[in-house]
């Protein structure tokens, strides 16, 4: 078939299909760029959260050292007894925190939620 014999509708449909394909390719490229940007944001956020957690741990350690010194001086206890009291307080608070955290994360999850958590975990860990 020559150009003059080809129906005009097919040429227009081919152009529209080509345009739609081009738009979809552009959309996919933009989505992949956004995904890379979000991955960097999540990794950066995780690094800053870890850094904050470590600094909070150091601050807690400093506060506990101060409390040990104050208890030793105020009550006249031996260092071993003061450390034992602080360790028992820490264990009690840790147990309470774990109990409350376990209660809050327990519960029926929708299959979509479990699937989303699984996909997110795999994406964060870099597994396929």
Ordered by start, the domain boundaries in the chain are 1-62, 77-128
Question: How far, in Å, CA of 22 to CA of 9, rounded?
Answer: 20
* Nearest by Cα to 74 from 51, 59, 66: 66
Does the pTM of the predicted model rise above 0.85? Answer: no
Place of tokens 């396929």: 128
Predicted local distance difference test score (pLDDT) of residue 4 = 55
CA distances from 96 to 28, 64, 85, 90, 120 (A): 47, 19, 17, 10, 29
What is the structure's pLDDT at 64?
94
Each residue's pLDDT expressed in tens, for the chain with a length of 128 residues: 555 555 555 676 777 777 777 778 777 788 777 777 777 787 888 899 999 999 999 999 999 999 999 999 999 999 999 999 999 999 999 999 999 988 887 767 677 777 777 877 777 777 76
Angle between helices 79-105 and 8-75 (to 10 degrees): 150
């Amino acid at each position: 078939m020559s150009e003059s014999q080809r129906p005009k509708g097919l040429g227009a449909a081919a152009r529209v299909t080509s345009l739609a394909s081009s738009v979809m390719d552009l959309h996919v490229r933009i989505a992949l760029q956004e995904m890379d940007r979000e991955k960097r944001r999540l990794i950066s956020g995780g690094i800053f959260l870890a850094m904050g957690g470590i600094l909070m741990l150091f601050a807690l350690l400093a506060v506990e050292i101060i409390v040990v010194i104050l208890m030793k001086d105020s009550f006249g206890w031996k260092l071993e007894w003061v450390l034992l009291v602080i360790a028992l307080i820490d264990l009690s608070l840790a147990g309470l925190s774990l109990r409350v955290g376990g209660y809050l994360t327990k519960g029926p999850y929708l299959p979509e939620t479990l699937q989303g958590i699984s996909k997110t975990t795999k994406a964060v860990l870099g597994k396929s």
